[in-house]
Structure 1
């Protein structure tokens, strides 16, 4: 199934997409999709719902991030072979882990806001994982059973803040609206093999990224198992799994986002996003 959250920012309600593409309101069956309610078991129970009996949500209603009130937003860097090469980095021997502040999370079609002083804001289409079971020291063979679902993520990044200001990458990854998530949280049975999904991203209609999760250095199961050795992953935790080649930083000369640009991206089976770039305070 395809689960989602809809409504004004900060007041989203839970919903799902029916077979006709109509959003149905699930708020009578679950309070919201948050760490307190989002689990593999809960989503499995909701699969038996008679969607035709639920209220239709009017077309054009805002879609929010598919996970609400997330506690953790993790990410993996340099996880596509061709992306590592375009940024002149060697392929890492182990997954490169970092975090994004959860305050950056926004809806899939909300604007990208250029932070004050930004000169190098960049795009990154990514496959997102949402954890659905407590996950600690999990073997790779069992890792995918801990996934509640997958989603599309744009890991928006300010490269000057990330690379040129010292310290951790989180500074360049966490500005408001630097984490568009969704539109949908898609259950694993509808996704199939997470290592066989196309990813694309365009800016102002020009295709920048066009790749597949098959180019990942560390696959989804490896990432989950590896992370679970160092931390306890919890239901509702979000993991962005890395971006393929075609980021602005990789061009010669580099190309970065400017006010008025339109970014469109998608991951196969997980839905599309569309963001207009605005200046801070616009």
Structure 2
């Protein structure tokens, strides 16, 4: 693999960032005190430069010695897109065509963990579900961004398991916020892959597996709302800033759609994989037990 995988990680009690390569993990934060986190690297437009720079350094840590964190610490916004694949729209069985605008909701950073850290099933509900998704990270600020210009505002790609407490998304009349924001129920990572051009995102194959069984599989070329449209629409009502995270929607096949539903339980392993990005893997534990 190339050095173009930039991660935030903890080792020896200190959080750092660097490149994950075949030779090991290179601590690039040690060479760039001017950028405390990957968020500042993204803001400086230096992500690709750091990825290329990694080739010049020896590894500082073995891959097994680090603990992955979510790649962008404390992003200003994490905006999630719902119902963005044709089969997901059909799951609702309401006879309605795909909506003309994307459905959106917000998640908080502490609702996510990094690659390799277990998701936490809370005591309030057993209905922990998975949703594999492609993530885009904004690199250039903008408001009312035209679709034609939208890709110029992307800095990087990543992956998300947008874990959800299903019964809590139906607690009220019209919102899903509660069920989407239980602490440590989702994951983002493992790393950022610098964005290059439209061909990189045109038709990404996205797969979610639970305990090795394929549960979700689709391609970004089938999304109802393209990456360009999502950026255009979101930036109409809010200014997008460097480090903002947009989670772009999940294919059909979540556990809630089985009959009967199949919820995640302690010991399960969920893998979200996309060609050209990587593989995000997490287990599941019950809150307070560690198992």
Regarding TM over 0.5, the answer is: yes
Q: Deviations over 1:97-133 (max 9, x none)?
A: 1101121121022111012211321100000010001
Matches within 5 A, 1:44-83: 44-49=48-53, 51-60=55-64, 61-83=66-88
| 2:111 paired residue number | 104
Pick from 23, 26, 30: which aligns with 1:24? 26
| 1:13 paired residue number | 16
| Superposition CA RMSD, Å | 2.1
Matches within 5 A, 1:167-178: 167-178=174-185
Q: Deviations over 1:26-74 (max 9, x none)?
A: 0123344344442362224324525332443223022221111222111
| 2:238 paired residue number | 231
| 1:242 paired residue number | 249
Pick from 145, 153, 176: which aligns with 1:146? 153
| 2:46 paired residue number | 42
| 2:225 paired residue number | 218
In the TM superposition, residue 5 of structure 1 has moved relative to its aligned partner by: 1.2
| 1:3 paired residue number | 6
State how far apart, in whole Å, the 2-side matches of 1:195 and 1:10 are.
Answer: 39
TM-score (norm 1): 0.92
SS of residue matched to 1:65 = coil
TM-score (norm 2): 0.89
Which segments of 5 or more consecutive residues in structure 1 lack a partner in the other structure?
none
Identify the range of structure 1 (54-63 vs 75-84) with the bigger mean alpha-carbon deviation: 54-63
Contact 2:208–2:271 at 8 Å: present in 1 too? yes
Aligned length: 281
Contact 1:83–1:245 at 8 Å: present in 2 too? yes
Identify the range of structure 1 (160-169 vs 50-59) with the bigger mean alpha-carbon deviation: 50-59
CA 104–229 in structure 1, closer or farther in 2 if over 3 Å, else same: same
Identify the range of structure 1 (158-167 vs 30-39) with the bigger mean alpha-carbon deviation: 30-39
State how far apart, in whole Å, the 1-side matches of 2:170 and 2:101 are.
Answer: 20
In the TM superposition, residue 87 of structure 1 has moved relative to its aligned partner by: 3.3
